[in-house]
Structure 1
Protein backbone atom coordinates (compact mmCIF):
# COMPACT_ATOMS: atom_id res chain seq x y z
CA UNK A 1 0.00 0.00 0.00
CA UNK A 2 2.86 2.40 0.80
CA UNK A 3 4.33 1.79 -2.67
CA UNK A 4 1.02 2.76 -4.31
CA UNK A 5 0.79 5.93 -2.20
CA UNK A 6 4.39 6.85 -3.01
CA UNK A 7 3.83 6.24 -6.74
CA UNK A 8 0.71 8.44 -6.66
CA UNK A 9 2.61 11.28 -4.94
CA UNK A 10 5.50 11.02 -7.41
CA UNK A 11 3.01 11.14 -10.27
CA UNK A 12 1.44 14.30 -8.85
CA UNK A 13 4.76 16.07 -8.32
CA UNK A 14 6.16 15.00 -11.70
CA UNK A 15 2.98 16.16 -13.39
CA UNK A 16 3.11 19.57 -11.74
CA UNK A 17 5.99 20.52 -14.02
CA UNK A 18 3.74 20.14 -17.08
CA UNK A 19 3.10 23.45 -18.80
CA UNK A 20 -0.71 23.34 -18.80
CA UNK A 21 -1.08 27.13 -19.13
CA UNK A 22 2.23 27.94 -20.84
CA UNK A 23 0.78 30.31 -23.50
CA UNK A 24 -2.35 31.27 -21.57
CA UNK A 25 -2.82 34.61 -19.81
CA UNK A 26 -6.42 34.32 -18.60
CA UNK A 27 -9.12 31.70 -18.27
CA UNK A 28 -12.87 32.06 -18.02
CA UNK A 29 -15.07 29.32 -16.79
CA UNK A 30 -18.18 28.28 -15.04
CA UNK A 31 -19.75 25.44 -13.15
CA UNK A 32 -23.22 24.17 -12.34
CA UNK A 33 -24.30 21.91 -9.52
CA UNK A 34 -27.47 20.14 -8.50
CA UNK A 35 -27.86 18.67 -5.05
CA UNK A 36 -30.78 16.63 -3.78
CA UNK A 37 -29.15 15.24 -0.65
CA UNK A 38 -28.02 18.31 1.28
CA UNK A 39 -31.04 18.22 3.62
CA UNK A 40 -33.99 15.78 3.82
CA UNK A 41 -36.68 16.65 1.23
CA UNK A 42 -34.54 19.45 -0.23
CA UNK A 43 -32.97 20.15 -3.59
CA UNK A 44 -30.81 22.99 -4.88
CA UNK A 45 -29.28 24.23 -8.11
CA UNK A 46 -26.41 26.67 -8.51
CA UNK A 47 -24.17 28.34 -11.07
CA UNK A 48 -20.65 29.74 -10.56
CA UNK A 49 -18.93 31.81 -13.27
CA UNK A 50 -15.17 32.42 -12.83
CA UNK A 51 -12.42 34.63 -14.22
CA UNK A 52 -8.78 33.84 -13.47
CA UNK A 53 -5.22 34.80 -14.38
CA UNK A 54 -2.44 32.27 -14.82
CA UNK A 55 0.36 32.79 -12.30
CA UNK A 56 2.58 30.02 -13.65
CA UNK A 57 2.31 27.13 -16.09
CA UNK A 58 -0.03 25.07 -13.88
CA UNK A 59 -1.74 27.45 -11.44
CA UNK A 60 -4.46 30.10 -11.47
CA UNK A 61 -5.63 32.89 -9.20
CA UNK A 62 -9.04 34.35 -9.79
CA UNK A 63 -12.51 35.54 -8.87
CA UNK A 64 -15.59 33.39 -8.53
CA UNK A 65 -19.23 34.46 -8.36
CA UNK A 66 -22.18 32.26 -7.52
CA UNK A 67 -25.95 32.09 -7.38
CA UNK A 68 -28.05 29.27 -5.97
CA UNK A 69 -31.68 28.51 -5.18
CA UNK A 70 -33.12 25.66 -3.14
CA UNK A 71 -36.49 24.39 -1.98
CA UNK A 72 -37.09 22.28 1.14
CA UNK A 73 -40.48 20.65 1.77
CA UNK A 74 -41.65 19.73 5.25
CA UNK A 75 -42.90 16.20 5.99
CA UNK A 76 -46.67 15.76 6.04
CA UNK A 77 -47.59 19.25 4.78
CA UNK A 78 -47.52 21.49 1.75
CA UNK A 79 -45.29 24.02 3.55
CA UNK A 80 -41.88 24.69 2.09
CA UNK A 81 -38.82 26.84 2.66
CA UNK A 82 -37.27 28.67 -0.27
CA UNK A 83 -33.63 29.81 -0.15
CA UNK A 84 -31.68 31.91 -2.61
CA UNK A 85 -28.21 33.35 -2.39
CA UNK A 86 -25.45 35.20 -4.16
CA UNK A 87 -21.76 35.21 -3.38
CA UNK A 88 -18.26 36.11 -4.48
CA UNK A 89 -14.78 34.95 -3.59
CA UNK A 90 -11.14 34.70 -4.56
CA UNK A 91 -9.45 31.39 -5.32
CA UNK A 92 -6.16 29.67 -6.06
CA UNK A 93 -6.24 26.52 -8.21
CA UNK A 94 -3.35 24.14 -8.93
CA UNK A 95 -3.24 21.42 -11.63
CA UNK A 96 -1.29 18.13 -11.77
CA UNK A 97 -1.02 16.07 -14.95
CA UNK A 98 -2.26 12.46 -14.61
CA UNK A 99 -2.16 11.60 -18.32
CA UNK A 100 -1.88 13.46 -21.61
CA UNK A 101 -5.26 15.21 -21.24
CA UNK A 102 -6.43 14.36 -17.70
CA UNK A 103 -5.54 16.45 -14.64
CA UNK A 104 -6.05 16.32 -10.91
CA UNK A 105 -6.56 19.77 -9.37
CA UNK A 106 -7.39 21.38 -6.09
CA UNK A 107 -8.89 24.77 -5.36
CA UNK A 108 -8.63 26.88 -2.20
CA UNK A 109 -11.23 29.65 -1.92
CA UNK A 110 -12.27 32.39 0.52
CA UNK A 111 -15.53 34.24 0.02
CA UNK A 112 -18.80 35.76 1.19
CA UNK A 113 -22.38 34.56 0.55
CA UNK A 114 -25.63 36.44 1.22
CA UNK A 115 -28.62 34.12 1.65
CA UNK A 116 -32.35 34.80 2.06
CA UNK A 117 -34.79 32.25 3.52
CA UNK A 118 -38.57 32.44 3.17
CA UNK A 119 -41.51 30.38 4.41
CA UNK A 120 -45.20 31.28 4.39
CA UNK A 121 -44.97 33.13 7.70
CA UNK A 122 -41.31 34.02 8.29
CA UNK A 123 -38.14 35.24 6.62
CA UNK A 124 -34.46 35.24 7.47
CA UNK A 125 -31.19 36.61 6.14
CA UNK A 126 -27.69 35.25 6.67
CA UNK A 127 -24.20 36.36 5.78
CA UNK A 128 -21.68 33.51 5.39
CA UNK A 129 -17.90 34.04 5.46
CA UNK A 130 -16.39 30.84 4.16
CA UNK A 131 -13.14 29.06 3.34
CA UNK A 132 -13.18 25.94 1.13
CA UNK A 133 -10.77 23.35 -0.25
CA UNK A 134 -12.13 21.33 -3.17
CA UNK A 135 -10.30 18.58 -5.10
CA UNK A 136 -11.39 17.75 -8.64
CA UNK A 137 -10.47 16.42 -12.06
CA UNK A 138 -10.15 18.10 -15.44
CA UNK A 139 -10.18 16.76 -18.98
CA UNK A 140 -8.76 18.79 -21.84
CA UNK A 141 -11.23 18.07 -24.65
CA UNK A 142 -9.82 20.69 -27.05
CA UNK A 143 -6.70 22.85 -27.13
CA UNK A 144 -8.44 25.74 -25.35
CA UNK A 145 -11.29 23.94 -23.56
CA UNK A 146 -11.24 21.84 -20.39
CA UNK A 147 -14.16 20.12 -18.68
CA UNK A 148 -14.05 19.67 -14.90
CA UNK A 149 -15.80 17.74 -12.16
CA UNK A 150 -15.70 17.63 -8.36
CA UNK A 151 -17.76 15.94 -5.67
CA UNK A 152 -17.34 18.40 -2.80
CA UNK A 153 -14.63 19.10 -0.28
CA UNK A 154 -13.79 20.60 3.09
CA UNK A 155 -15.29 23.91 4.18
CA UNK A 156 -15.44 26.20 7.18
CA UNK A 157 -17.91 29.04 7.56
CA UNK A 158 -18.91 31.73 10.02
CA UNK A 159 -22.57 32.82 9.78
CA UNK A 160 -24.26 36.00 11.01
CA UNK A 161 -28.02 35.80 10.65
CA UNK A 162 -31.31 37.44 11.54
CA UNK A 163 -34.87 36.14 11.28
CA UNK A 164 -38.33 37.67 11.51
CA UNK A 165 -41.85 36.36 11.82
CA UNK A 166 -45.05 37.97 13.15
CA UNK A 167 -44.27 39.14 16.69
CA UNK A 168 -40.73 37.70 16.72
CA UNK A 169 -37.24 38.84 15.74
CA UNK A 170 -33.92 37.15 16.43
CA UNK A 171 -30.24 37.27 15.48
CA UNK A 172 -27.70 34.47 15.69
CA UNK A 173 -24.13 33.45 14.93
CA UNK A 174 -22.71 30.08 14.02
CA UNK A 175 -19.39 28.45 13.06
CA UNK A 176 -19.19 25.13 11.26
CA UNK A 177 -16.57 22.85 9.75
CA UNK A 178 -17.88 20.29 7.26
CA UNK A 179 -16.52 17.57 5.01
CA UNK A 180 -18.91 16.69 2.20
CA UNK A 181 -18.25 14.61 -0.88
CA UNK A 182 -21.86 14.28 -2.07
CA UNK A 183 -22.26 17.59 -3.94
CA UNK A 184 -21.36 16.99 -7.61
CA UNK A 185 -20.30 20.02 -9.62
CA UNK A 186 -19.53 20.07 -13.35
CA UNK A 187 -17.90 22.91 -15.23
CA UNK A 188 -15.69 24.16 -18.02
CA UNK A 189 -12.57 26.29 -18.40
CA UNK A 190 -11.73 28.21 -21.55
CA UNK A 191 -8.10 29.29 -22.06
CA UNK A 192 -7.39 32.78 -23.48
CA UNK A 193 -3.95 33.64 -24.92
Structure 2
Protein backbone atom coordinates (compact mmCIF):
# COMPACT_ATOMS: atom_id res chain seq x y z
CA UNK A 1 0.00 0.00 0.00
CA UNK A 2 2.85 2.40 0.81
CA UNK A 3 4.41 1.79 -2.61
CA UNK A 4 1.10 2.63 -4.25
CA UNK A 5 0.81 5.87 -2.25
CA UNK A 6 4.38 6.86 -3.13
CA UNK A 7 3.81 6.15 -6.82
CA UNK A 8 0.60 8.21 -6.73
CA UNK A 9 2.41 11.18 -5.15
CA UNK A 10 5.21 11.00 -7.71
CA UNK A 11 2.70 10.99 -10.56
CA UNK A 12 0.85 13.87 -8.94
CA UNK A 13 3.96 16.07 -8.77
CA UNK A 14 5.20 15.03 -12.21
CA UNK A 15 1.96 16.33 -13.74
CA UNK A 16 1.26 19.09 -16.20
CA UNK A 17 3.68 21.78 -15.01
CA UNK A 18 5.23 22.01 -18.45
CA UNK A 19 2.37 24.21 -19.69
CA UNK A 20 2.58 26.60 -16.73
CA UNK A 21 4.48 29.38 -18.51
CA UNK A 22 4.12 28.42 -22.15
CA UNK A 23 4.67 31.54 -24.33
CA UNK A 24 5.16 33.71 -21.21
CA UNK A 25 8.19 36.01 -21.11
CA UNK A 26 7.85 37.85 -17.78
CA UNK A 27 5.88 37.57 -14.56
CA UNK A 28 4.83 40.61 -12.50
CA UNK A 29 3.20 40.06 -9.15
CA UNK A 30 2.57 41.14 -5.63
CA UNK A 31 1.52 39.65 -2.31
CA UNK A 32 0.19 40.82 1.02
CA UNK A 33 1.16 39.14 4.28
CA UNK A 34 -0.54 39.58 7.66
CA UNK A 35 0.22 38.17 11.08
CA UNK A 36 -1.45 38.74 14.44
CA UNK A 37 0.11 36.87 17.35
CA UNK A 38 -2.28 36.94 20.31
CA UNK A 39 0.31 35.57 22.77
CA UNK A 40 2.98 38.22 22.20
CA UNK A 41 0.62 41.07 21.14
CA UNK A 42 2.61 41.52 17.91
CA UNK A 43 0.83 42.31 14.67
CA UNK A 44 2.44 42.85 11.29
CA UNK A 45 1.52 43.54 7.68
CA UNK A 46 3.69 43.48 4.57
CA UNK A 47 3.52 44.22 0.85
CA UNK A 48 5.78 42.17 -1.45
CA UNK A 49 6.10 43.15 -5.15
CA UNK A 50 8.04 40.91 -7.56
CA UNK A 51 9.26 40.77 -11.15
CA UNK A 52 10.59 37.60 -12.80
CA UNK A 53 11.83 36.19 -16.10
CA UNK A 54 10.80 32.73 -17.23
CA UNK A 55 13.84 30.44 -17.57
CA UNK A 56 11.91 27.15 -18.18
CA UNK A 57 8.28 26.28 -18.76
CA UNK A 58 8.00 25.46 -15.03
CA UNK A 59 10.59 27.77 -13.38
CA UNK A 60 11.45 31.44 -13.09
CA UNK A 61 14.09 33.70 -11.61
CA UNK A 62 13.34 37.20 -10.39
CA UNK A 63 13.63 40.17 -8.08
CA UNK A 64 11.51 40.62 -4.98
CA UNK A 65 11.05 43.62 -2.74
CA UNK A 66 9.02 44.22 0.36
CA UNK A 67 7.87 46.66 2.98
CA UNK A 68 6.83 45.34 6.40
CA UNK A 69 5.57 47.10 9.49
CA UNK A 70 5.04 45.48 12.90
CA UNK A 71 3.71 46.70 16.23
CA UNK A 72 4.07 45.20 19.72
CA UNK A 73 2.08 46.56 22.64
CA UNK A 74 2.60 45.86 26.32
CA UNK A 75 -0.44 47.01 28.24
CA UNK A 76 1.16 46.26 31.63
CA UNK A 77 3.99 48.77 31.14
CA UNK A 78 2.08 50.98 28.69
CA UNK A 79 4.84 50.69 26.04
CA UNK A 80 4.72 50.24 22.29
CA UNK A 81 7.42 49.08 19.85
CA UNK A 82 7.17 49.67 16.10
CA UNK A 83 9.35 48.09 13.39
CA UNK A 84 9.58 49.16 9.77
CA UNK A 85 11.55 46.95 7.41
CA UNK A 86 12.45 47.20 3.71
CA UNK A 87 13.68 44.05 1.94
CA UNK A 88 15.13 43.28 -1.50
CA UNK A 89 16.41 40.05 -2.98
CA UNK A 90 16.61 37.60 -5.84
CA UNK A 91 14.63 34.36 -6.01
CA UNK A 92 14.18 31.14 -7.91
CA UNK A 93 10.73 29.55 -8.07
CA UNK A 94 9.83 26.06 -9.34
CA UNK A 95 6.33 24.71 -10.07
CA UNK A 96 4.92 21.15 -9.99
CA UNK A 97 1.50 20.29 -11.43
CA UNK A 98 -1.03 18.87 -8.96
CA UNK A 99 -4.16 19.14 -11.09
CA UNK A 100 -5.15 21.09 -14.17
CA UNK A 101 -4.23 24.76 -13.46
CA UNK A 102 -3.26 23.98 -9.81
CA UNK A 103 0.41 23.85 -8.83
CA UNK A 104 2.59 23.24 -5.82
CA UNK A 105 5.62 25.56 -5.86
CA UNK A 106 8.63 26.43 -3.77
CA UNK A 107 10.64 29.62 -3.77
CA UNK A 108 14.26 30.08 -2.67
CA UNK A 109 15.09 33.70 -1.85
CA UNK A 110 18.38 35.37 -0.90
CA UNK A 111 18.20 39.00 0.10
CA UNK A 112 19.02 41.87 2.42
CA UNK A 113 16.95 44.00 4.77
CA UNK A 114 17.12 47.48 6.29
CA UNK A 115 14.95 48.46 9.20
CA UNK A 116 14.12 50.87 11.94
CA UNK A 117 12.81 50.01 15.41
CA UNK A 118 11.17 52.65 17.58
CA UNK A 119 10.15 52.04 21.16
CA UNK A 120 8.82 54.33 23.84
CA UNK A 121 12.35 55.19 24.98
CA UNK A 122 14.75 54.54 22.07
CA UNK A 123 15.29 54.12 18.33
CA UNK A 124 17.45 51.49 16.59
CA UNK A 125 18.50 50.84 12.99
CA UNK A 126 19.01 47.33 11.63
CA UNK A 127 20.75 45.80 8.64
CA UNK A 128 20.85 42.17 7.68
CA UNK A 129 20.58 39.43 5.15
CA UNK A 130 18.40 36.35 4.84
CA UNK A 131 17.87 33.11 2.97
CA UNK A 132 14.35 31.62 2.86
CA UNK A 133 12.61 28.59 1.38
CA UNK A 134 8.88 29.13 0.96
CA UNK A 135 6.45 26.41 -0.23
CA UNK A 136 3.12 27.45 -1.70
CA UNK A 137 0.15 26.73 -3.93
CA UNK A 138 -0.75 28.44 -7.21
CA UNK A 139 -3.96 28.48 -9.22
CA UNK A 140 -3.85 29.65 -12.83
CA UNK A 141 -7.23 31.38 -13.01
CA UNK A 142 -6.87 32.53 -16.64
CA UNK A 143 -4.10 32.40 -19.20
CA UNK A 144 -2.72 35.71 -17.82
CA UNK A 145 -3.60 35.66 -14.10
CA UNK A 146 -2.41 33.34 -11.34
CA UNK A 147 -3.33 33.42 -7.63
CA UNK A 148 -0.70 32.30 -5.12
CA UNK A 149 -0.62 31.46 -1.41
CA UNK A 150 2.40 30.63 0.74
CA UNK A 151 2.29 27.78 3.26
CA UNK A 152 4.93 29.17 5.64
CA UNK A 153 8.69 29.46 5.38
CA UNK A 154 11.98 28.12 6.65
CA UNK A 155 15.10 30.23 6.67
CA UNK A 156 18.21 31.76 8.11
CA UNK A 157 18.67 35.43 8.91
CA UNK A 158 21.46 37.61 10.27
CA UNK A 159 20.83 41.10 11.64
CA UNK A 160 22.99 43.83 13.05
CA UNK A 161 21.18 46.32 15.30
CA UNK A 162 22.80 49.61 16.22
CA UNK A 163 22.00 53.00 17.73
CA UNK A 164 24.18 56.10 17.94
CA UNK A 165 21.95 58.05 20.29
CA UNK A 166 23.64 60.30 22.84
CA UNK A 167 22.03 58.52 25.77
CA UNK A 168 23.24 55.04 24.81
CA UNK A 169 25.25 53.36 22.07
CA UNK A 170 24.14 49.86 21.07
CA UNK A 171 25.68 47.37 18.63
CA UNK A 172 24.00 43.92 18.69
CA UNK A 173 24.40 41.11 16.18
CA UNK A 174 21.77 38.37 15.90
CA UNK A 175 21.76 35.19 13.83
CA UNK A 176 18.85 32.73 13.74
CA UNK A 177 17.23 29.78 11.97
CA UNK A 178 13.46 29.74 11.89
CA UNK A 179 10.46 27.81 10.63
CA UNK A 180 7.20 29.75 10.53
CA UNK A 181 3.63 28.83 9.66
CA UNK A 182 1.98 31.96 11.12
CA UNK A 183 2.81 34.51 8.40
CA UNK A 184 0.88 33.51 5.25
CA UNK A 185 1.10 35.54 2.06
CA UNK A 186 -1.65 35.82 -0.54
CA UNK A 187 -0.83 37.24 -3.95
CA UNK A 188 -1.73 37.71 -7.57
CA UNK A 189 0.63 37.29 -10.52
CA UNK A 190 0.26 38.58 -14.08
CA UNK A 191 1.80 36.54 -16.91
CA UNK A 192 3.15 38.81 -19.65
CA UNK A 193 3.37 37.14 -23.08
TM-score (norm 1): 0.93
1:19 Cα offset (Å): 1.9
Please name the residue that 1:9 is paired with: 10
Please name the residue that 2:41 is paired with: 41
Q: What does the per-residue CA deviation read over 1:71-101, in whole Å, with 9 as the maximum and x for residues that have no partner? A: 1001413310011011100000001111111
Contact 2:81/2:119, CA 8 A, preserved across alignment = yes
Q: How does 1:130-169 map to 2 (within 5 A)?
A: 130-163=130-163, 167-169=167-169
Whole-Å separation in 1 of the counterparts to 2:38 and 2:30: 22
Q: How does 1:24-63 map to 2 (within 5 A)?
A: 24-37=24-37, 40-63=40-63
Whole-Å separation in 1 of the counterparts to 2:136 and 2:90: 17
1:39 Cα offset (Å): 6.8
Change (3 A) 1:118 1:154: same
Change (3 A) 1:33 1:39: farther
Whole-Å separation in 2 of the counterparts to 1:13 and 1:60: 18
Aligned to 1:36, what secondary structure does the other structure show?
strand
Whole-Å separation in 2 of the counterparts to 1:185 and 1:102: 17
Q: What does the per-residue CA deviation read over 1:133-189, in whole Å, with 9 as the maximum and x for residues that have no partner? A: 000000111110000001311010111111356621110111100011121110011
Please name the residue that 1:85 is paired with: 85
Contact 1:82/1:118, CA 8 A, preserved across alignment = yes
Change (3 A) 1:3 1:166: farther
TM-score (norm 2): 0.93
Residue 66, structure 1, aligned to residue 66, structure 2: yes
Contact 1:121/1:165, CA 8 A, preserved across alignment = no
* Unmatched runs of 5 consecutive residues or more in structure 1: none
Aligned to 2:177, what secondary structure does the other structure show?
strand
1:127 Cα offset (Å): 0.9
* Unmatched runs of 5 consecutive residues or more in structure 2: none
Matched length: 192
Change (3 A) 1:123 1:135: same
Change (3 A) 1:117 1:103: same
